[in-house]
A and B are shown apart, each in its own frame.
Chain A
């Protein structure tokens, strides 16, 4: 990277995460004004958006090429008091907590204390939701059965398609006018709603154009005072770009990136949607600009790289807005899950990998930034050279890019009812979630704690942590004469809690549709404009609501342990097992040992254990898939945890798989940490026993020591491993290159790292199986090898 990018990157890394009161104050002032209450809700939201963009400060950093910041400076993070309100105590917790902290200064606290909190206290969307949700929802929520994404953030979780690359905001306004002309107040009872929504969209489109022009003005002002003639010319050039986009369709590579960035800022300023926003198939969208300009001689590959790097830094300047209250553990990270998709297939089904795909991979490797995240879509049609290039980045050990199966994603989306072309234009976003980019609102509604349901089943509907009866009465498990009876009781409890979750989620969806429309986001995702309907009200072409199952490994192994020891071999009674769980295995050390080491475990291609995985999968799928949502969409499942497996674990006592009280449950569809000991092919075989095509995404983590990647041969073999998993319809796999710290932990807690394979000398072996001296040597070597 050149000097300019190096400096900008360094500034971004150095910038301190802090709370900015700017947006909260502007929103408060707007809502205090009379105009806010003279209009319908969509128009009110659009006017609020317009007010913020007209009054927020404009930040342009020295030597920047892509301009625009959500806050007054990099990493100055706004709050969204209309959604949820940070108390002074929240600000203090955020300021002081050890990890993922956000500083707040005296002025910020004062603004919250004097203006923001007095206005919004008890009046936020979160307050409204909490008042309207039924008691059973609150009980299950507090017990840690599920989380709720929209409790603190707006629905979002969508990815932009190619719309902005051939339509300026002026073109979209023309589309709005056309839709308005078609309104039929005589025959369409919803004509008025549509009119108000379309008005709101038009206001929002105008607001973002003006916001760009404010940047142009500021750039020209800076140019007039600039001593360096090169920078002066550059500032003028960027100013003219900001005059062109987003008003008109972009003509150059630089304009395309700047247009996206304004749109990104618009989406994350309007509301705080989950997973911020995402350009999606960046190599596809930018390639026509790149190719054309390269041919015309107006762009060089080096300049394209520099612009992309500058673009990358902008993402890194924008941490996820911090939450309030207890759910800090739920997703404790600065990352806001923008996931750049590379590769895959084109709408006609052909190989989509192009020259720019490789250039962007170079950018990812060189930038090594937390945000944006990146992934490669690998179709059977993509060349191995593409996959191998990605693996070379993976082996450097910063967790990117993750690897997705395009052919599975397309099948998943088609099964859900998308056209084949829309499915092929899609991909994955957030962690692993499948969606049709540019045409779908696929909302994550919350994580669901599957192992907790077993704990409640084992206590006949009571939560042993609180003693409260929150589930159904499904019978005293000590009376169950067969494993099938236990499974049946578990299935009934599962449906009970899924129904509570869906009922609550339906209420929340409706609250957002009525009170928190997102007219700006609605401009971007088809077919909100032509439908005259908001993104949050079902205006998009496809609407999906996902419930993300967590703890598949833990639930599978827990059921298997009960089946094996209690019902098949009858070596222990259920009553005694429950006593051991209650005592957290104290006084039951030998039983604990049997459960950890001498029980069939998921992840080893062992039919006995894996059968329970499939049973739980089918129960979960049957309970969720196909249920209708108020937006006219459908509930679907996916299986991923982000970091919620830690929170969910803290809500469960000891479980029959040998997991002790409060420890994390397993993540994604990965086996319980350390319980797979037959190598990655066995893990893949086990994981592929569920039908990934009927999900909207699954997450599989695999660990490798850096020494595994010693030579080119290993890169090919890892590529072959991935291809094999994808032939079995696996959805996603990511590789963590293990650190010396992990190895040290493995020395201390071998039972948690039975899966850890290290390269010894000429061959690989399980770390646990090595002598202490050799373990030490490998730890030293690993410290040395990690880049």
Chain B
């Protein structure tokens, strides 16, 4: 059993990461390096200092906090069980997010098993970037996947995330065959994947999947991440001024709906 996992947050009353009222466990550490990442504090696999500014009586107080804490399965479960009544009443449960939870596979598996013995619904929010053998072993541990698909073009995927997308697409096909439900989540990034060609590739790909219930969530890009990057002492890699073209996106939404997908925007 993996002794401890590196967790950077446990968020209660999470209402945008799967059905019902959920508790989201954020794993720290991610193999990808997406330029638009809105949880930049989740990328590094080490606890890292963050400067926090708080104000009181018009005076600013600066202090350092550490993002990321090594926790045992029992410690995480103790937090999750506090929310049991909400999970049960709402048909919610726990969502593992990150970072990339699959980057800490043993801890993730232990936690998912612990949830299952307690009858807690589990959802994995993942980029799918994982060794396919490992991935296939982990699939049965979860009740639902929130599966990120970012870019179809292999080279572009490398350009924007640092890595190719072969495993990601292969793993989604694996998942599709098991019958475990999943939702495809697409971060829509202006100038990266919001063009007609990208959307058409996505549409063709979803059409080729076997799962009869096709659910796609578009998550329009937002420049929220910047203040977090600054707090981490990093500079940003995105242009702050770019915004999503909502009417364009709406056209794609209609196309997906016409193709029989259940679509949600904004999550």
A residues with CB within 8 A of B? 589, 592-593, 596-597, 605, 678-682, 685, 710, 713-714, 717, 720-721, 723-724, 727-728, 750-751, 760-765, 770-771, 774
The listed residue with most A CB atoms (<10 A of its CB), out of B86, B230, B266, is: B86
Given contacts A771-B226, A774-B227, are A723 and B20 in contact (CB under 8 A)?
Answer: no
CB A385 to nearest CB in B, in angstroms, measures: 17
Pair count A-B, CB < 8 A: 89
Task: Compute how far the CA of A727 lies from the CA of B55 in the bound complex, rounded to whole angstroms.
Answer: 38
Residues on A with beta carbons closer than 8 Å to the beta carbon of B21:
681, 717, 720-721, 724
- The interface bits of chain B over 73-99 (1 if a CB of A lies within 8 angstroms of the residue's CB, else 0) are 000000000110110011110000000
Task: Compute how far the CA of A681 lies from the CA of B85 in the bound complex, rounded to whole angstroms.
Answer: 9
Instruction: Determine whether the beta carbon of A679 is less than 8 Å from that of B12.
Output: yes
Main secondary structure of the interface of A (DSSP, over half): helix
Instruction: Determine whether the beta carbon of B13 is less than 8 Å from that of A592.
Output: no
Residues on B with beta carbons closer than 8 Å to the beta carbon of A724:
21, 85-86, 89-90
In the complex, whether B219 has a CB less than 8 A from a CB of chain A is: yes
Residues on B with beta carbons closer than 8 Å to the beta carbon of A750:
54-55
Task: Compute how far the CA of A528 lies from the CA of B55 in the bound complex, rounded to whole angstroms.
Answer: 59
Taking a contact as CB atoms closer than 8 A, the residue among B12, B16, B20 that contacts A678 in the complex is: B12
List the 10 closest A-B pairs by CB distance, nearest first: A771-B227, A720-B90, A761-B222, A679-B13, A762-B267, A724-B89, A681-B13, A762-B219, A724-B86, A679-B12
**What is the chain A residue whose CB lies nearest that of B23?**
A681
Residues on B with beta carbons closer than 8 Å to the beta carbon of A681:
12-13, 21, 83, 86
**What is the chain B residue whose CB lies nearest that of A685?**
B82
**What is the chain A residue whose CB lies nearest that of B221?**
A761
Question: Beyond the given A751-B54, A774-B223, could you list 18 further A-B residue pairs with CB under 8 A, ordered by the A residue number?
Answer: A589-B57, A596-B56, A679-B13, A681-B12, A681-B83, A717-B90, A720-B86, A720-B92, A721-B86, A721-B90, A724-B86, A724-B90, A728-B85, A760-B224, A761-B222, A762-B219, A762-B266, A774-B227
- The interface bits of chain B over 6-49 (1 if a CB of A lies within 8 angstroms of the residue's CB, else 0) are 00000111011100110000000000000000000000000000
**What is the chain A residue whose CB lies nearest that of B240?**
A773
Task: Compute how far the CA of A679 lies from the CA of B89 in the bound complex, rounded to whole angstroms.
Answer: 17
**What is the chain A residue whose CB lies nearest that of B92?**
A720
Task: Compute how far the CA of A763 lies from the CA of B17 in the bound complex, rounded to whole angstroms.
Answer: 9
Task: Compute how far the CA of A678 lies from the CA of B11 in the bound complex, rounded to whole angstroms.
Answer: 8
Q: Can you list 10 A-B pairs with a CB-CB distance of less than 8 A?
A: A589-B59, A596-B56, A597-B61, A605-B82, A720-B91, A724-B86, A751-B55, A761-B219, A763-B17, A774-B223
Residues on A with beta carbons closer than 8 Å to the beta carbon of B223:
774
Task: Compute how far the CA of A751 lies from the CA of B58 in the bound complex, rounded to whole angstroms.
Answer: 10
CB A43 to nearest CB in B, in angstroms, measures: 57
CB B111 to nearest CB in A, in angstroms, measures: 20
Residues on B with beta carbons closer than 8 Å to the beta carbon of A727:
85, 89
Residues on A with beta carbons closer than 8 Å to the beta carbon of B54:
593, 597, 750-751
Residues on A with beta carbons closer than 8 Å to the beta carbon of B15:
713-714, 717, 764
Instruction: Determine whether the beta carbon of A770 is less than 8 Å from that of B13.
Output: no
Task: Compute how far the CA of A724 lies from the CA of B82 in the bound complex, rounded to whole angstroms.
Answer: 12
Instruction: Determine whether the beta carbon of A721 is less than 8 Å from that of B13.
Output: yes
CB B42 to nearest CB in A, in angstroms, measures: 13
Residues on B with beta carbons closer than 8 Å to the beta carbon of A596:
56
Residues on B with beta carbons closer than 8 Å to the beta carbon of A714:
15
In the complex, whether B132 has a CB less than 8 A from a CB of chain A is: no
**What is the chain B residue whose CB lies nearest that of A768?**
B54
**What is the chain B residue whose CB lies nearest that of A771?**
B227
Residues on B with beta carbons closer than 8 Å to the beta carbon of A771:
224, 226-227, 230
Residues on A with beta carbons closer than 8 Å to the beta carbon of B181:
none
Residues on A with beta carbons closer than 8 Å to the beta carbon of B82:
605, 682, 685
Instruction: Determine whether the beta carbon of A770 is less than 8 Å from that of B86.
Output: no
Task: Compute how far the CA of A65 lies from the CA of B57 in the bound complex, rounded to whole angstroms.
Answer: 55
Instruction: Determine whether the beta carbon of A592 is less than 8 Å from that of B57.
Output: yes
Task: Compute how far the CA of A717 lies from the CA of B11 in the bound complex, rounded to whole angstroms.
Answer: 16
Residues on A with beta carbons closer than 8 Å to the beta carbon of B91:
720
Task: Compute how far the CA of A714 lies from the CA of B14 in the bound complex, rounded to whole angstroms.
Answer: 11
In the complex, whether B105 has a CB less than 8 A from a CB of chain A is: no
**What is the chain B residue whose CB lies nearest that of A595?**
B56
Instruction: Determine whether the beta carbon of B222 is less than 8 Å from that of A760.
Output: yes
In the complex, whether B207 has a CB less than 8 A from a CB of chain A is: no
Given contacts A727-B85, A770-B227, are A763 and B267 in contact (CB under 8 A)?
Answer: yes
Instruction: Determine whether the beta carbon of A593 is less than 8 Å from that of B85.
Output: no
Task: Compute how far the CA of A9 lies from the CA of B103 in the bound complex, rounded to whole angstroms.
Answer: 63
Residues on B with beta carbons closer than 8 Å to the beta carbon of A605:
82
Residues on A with beta carbons closer than 8 Å to the beta carbon of B92:
720
Task: Compute how far the CA of A605 lies from the CA of B82 in the bound complex, rounded to whole angstroms.
Answer: 8
Residues on B with beta carbons closer than 8 Å to the beta carbon of A761:
219-220, 222, 224, 266
Residues on B with beta carbons closer than 8 Å to the beta carbon of A762:
16, 219-220, 222, 266-267
Residues on A with beta carbons closer than 8 Å to the beta carbon of B219:
761-762
CB A584 to nearest CB in B, in angstroms, measures: 11
**What is the chain A residue whose CB lies nearest that of B10?**
A678
Residues on B with beta carbons closer than 8 Å to the beta carbon of A682:
12-13, 82
Task: Compute how far the CA of A491 lies from the CA of B122 in the bound complex, rounded to whole angstroms.
Answer: 46
Task: Compute how far the CA of A760 lies from the CA of B92 in the bound complex, rounded to whole angstroms.
Answer: 22
Task: Compute how far the CA of A592 lies from the CA of B15 in the bound complex, rounded to whole angstroms.
Answer: 34
Residues on A with beta carbons closer than 8 Å to the beta carbon of B56:
589, 592-593, 596-597, 751
CB B213 to nearest CB in A, in angstroms, measures: 17
Instruction: Determine whether the beta carbon of B224 is less than 8 Å from that of A717.
Output: no
Task: Compute how far the CA of A770 lies from the CA of B223 in the bound complex, rounded to whole angstroms.
Answer: 11
CB A28 to nearest CB in B, in angstroms, measures: 54
Given contacts A589-B59, A597-B54, A720-B86, are A764 and B16 in contact (CB under 8 A)?
Answer: yes
Residues on B with beta carbons closer than 8 Å to the beta carbon of A760:
222, 224
- The interface bits of chain B over 48-66 (1 if a CB of A lies within 8 angstroms of the residue's CB, else 0) are 0000001111010100000
Residues on B with beta carbons closer than 8 Å to the beta carbon of A763:
16-17, 267
**What is the chain B residue whose CB lies nearest that of A722?**
B89
Task: Compute how far the CA of A724 lies from the CA of B226 in the bound complex, rounded to whole angstroms.
Answer: 36
Residues on B with beta carbons closer than 8 Å to the beta carbon of A751:
54-56
Task: Compute how far the CA of A682 lies from the CA of B267 in the bound complex, rounded to whole angstroms.
Answer: 23
CB A163 to nearest CB in B, in angstroms, measures: 38
**What is the chain A residue whose CB lies nearest that of B91?**
A720
Taking a contact as CB atoms closer than 8 A, the residue among A592, A720, A774 that contacts B89 in the complex is: A720
**What is the chain B residue whose CB lies nearest that of A757?**
B13
Task: Compute how far the CA of A592 lies from the CA of B89 in the bound complex, rounded to whole angstroms.
Answer: 40
Residues on B with beta carbons closer than 8 Å to the beta carbon of A770:
224, 227
Residues on A with beta carbons closer than 8 Å to the beta carbon of B86:
681, 720-721, 724
Residues on B with beta carbons closer than 8 Å to the beta carbon of A774:
223-224, 227
CB B157 to nearest CB in A, in angstroms, measures: 22
CB A581 to nearest CB in B, in angstroms, measures: 16
**What is the chain B residue whose CB lies nearest that of A726?**
B89
CB A430 to nearest CB in B, in angstroms, measures: 29
- The interface bits of chain B over 218-238 (1 if a CB of A lies within 8 angstroms of the residue's CB, else 0) are 011011101100100000000
CB A280 to nearest CB in B, in angstroms, measures: 29
Instruction: Determine whether the beta carbon of A723 is less than 8 Å from that of B89.
Output: yes
Residues on A with beta carbons closer than 8 Å to the beta carbon of B59:
589
**What is the chain B residue whose CB lies nearest that of A604?**
B12
**What is the chain B residue whose CB lies nearest that of A719?**
B90
Residues on A with beta carbons closer than 8 Å to the beta carbon of B85:
685, 724, 727-728
Residues on A with beta carbons closer than 8 Å to the beta carbon of B226:
771
Residues on B with beta carbons closer than 8 Å to the beta carbon of A589:
56-57, 59
CB A213 to nearest CB in B, in angstroms, measures: 55
Task: Compute how far the CA of A765 lies from the CA of B222 in the bound complex, rounded to whole angstroms.
Answer: 13
Residues on A with beta carbons closer than 8 Å to the beta carbon of B230:
771
Task: Compute how far the CA of A680 lies from the CA of B14 in the bound complex, rounded to whole angstroms.
Answer: 10
Residues on A with beta carbons closer than 8 Å to the beta carbon of B222:
760-762
Residues on A with beta carbons closer than 8 Å to the beta carbon of B267:
762-763
The listed residue with most B CB atoms (<10 A of its CB), out of A592, A596, A720, A721, is: A720
Residues on B with beta carbons closer than 8 Å to the beta carbon of A592:
56-57
CB A730 to nearest CB in B, in angstroms, measures: 11
Task: Compute how far the CA of A681 lies from the CA of B90 in the bound complex, rounded to whole angstroms.
Answer: 12
**What is the chain B residue whose CB lies nearest that of A749?**
B55
